[in-house]
Amino acid sequence: MTHEIKNLIKLIWNAQRQNIKSVLATVVALEGSSYRRPGVRMLILENGKTFGAVSGGCVEKEVQLQAQSVLETAVPKVMSYDGRFRLGCEGIIYILIEPVSITQELKVQFERVFSQRLTFESRTFYSKEEGTSQNFGTQFIFSENPFSLRKDTYFSTEVTCFDQAFSPLFQLYVFGAEHDSVQLCKAASQLGWQVTVIAAADEAKTKTFFEGAHDLLTPTFENLDVSPIDSQTAIMLMTHSFNKDVQYLLALADTQPAYIGVLGPKQRRERVLEKVLEFKPELSIDFLERIHGPAGINIGAESAEEISISILAEILSVIRNQKPVQLKEKSGRIHD
């Protein structure tokens, strides 16, 4: 959800600069099941524009209606929505709607954690009793320092607190500059991932060629900076070059990403790994077990666009420790 917060903070700041009031709706609690989990947010501006969602689309109109009084009074309120009769979701969701404003200091804090890919937290104070209270609201915690979304706000410990932890922005490193890399970059950016494309200098491509890319780098194999690669990183090798894949894997040997994908059939993957081990026989088992090849989940993908969906689905299944299965065959709740 980190990328959602990043987008919403940018929208709040831009609206604030235009003297447009904003209110933020946050799902703070859930009884039963619902389309989305607690922690999702929706922004409502006084000009009628909305961003984000707290459900599949059925609750949003009610939230927008309830938000009008908050825009007028600047007093937070809690609303509930029983989806058992209207949505078929078998749950009741509780939503805090609060006026928001961002100080320059808070904006700097957000920019720091986003750019440096740091963890942070939020605390949202509310009650399951519908109504209004100045004690309701949200604060974000950066290095144990709290920053409120409203000025001069005191949050009472007598109300309920919903705590939420935010991981660093998930990132994807795409090695390769062919058409399938372009499609993967575009699709991953739509998930909110920060995408870095690594291409050989002789590819003669620019960042504009890769829609949604955060950066395009063209280092030599020896000068590849792997320091930003961490456990919140996925790597996809799709250079369409056997030698380049081998050299990139050697350069990545000391990293610990969440996922490494290799394009191509099993036989090609085995050849690549054999060559890598020839150069670096001490390569750890842990690193080898992170490698997935052929990358992707079997959904019958044929086009570059479909293959990108297959690859992203596998990455999500790995980082969320889920075995891909049709939901109709899954026992229990959809969201664990």
pTM summary value = 0.84
Write down the pLDDT at residue 59.
Answer: 85
Mean predicted confidence (pLDDT) in 24-45: 87
Q: How confident is the model at residue 35 (pLDDT cuts 50, 70, 90)?
A: low
Give yes or no for residue 254 having a pLDDT over 70: yes
Write down the pLDDT at residue 170.
Answer: 95
Q: How confident is the model at residue 1 (pLDDT cuts 50, 70, 90)?
A: confident
**Percentage of the chain modeled with pLDDT above 70:** 93
**Percentage of the chain modeled with pLDDT above 90:** 76
Average pLDDT for the chain: 90
Q: How confident is the model at residue 194 (pLDDT cuts 50, 70, 90)?
A: very high
Q: List domains and CATH numbers for the chain.
A: 2-166 (no CATH), 171-319 (3.40.50.720)
Give yes or no for residue 138 having a pLDDT over 90: yes
Peptide linkage before 265 cis (omega within 30 of 0): no
Give the whole-angstrom CA distance, residue 219 versus residue 198. Answer: 8
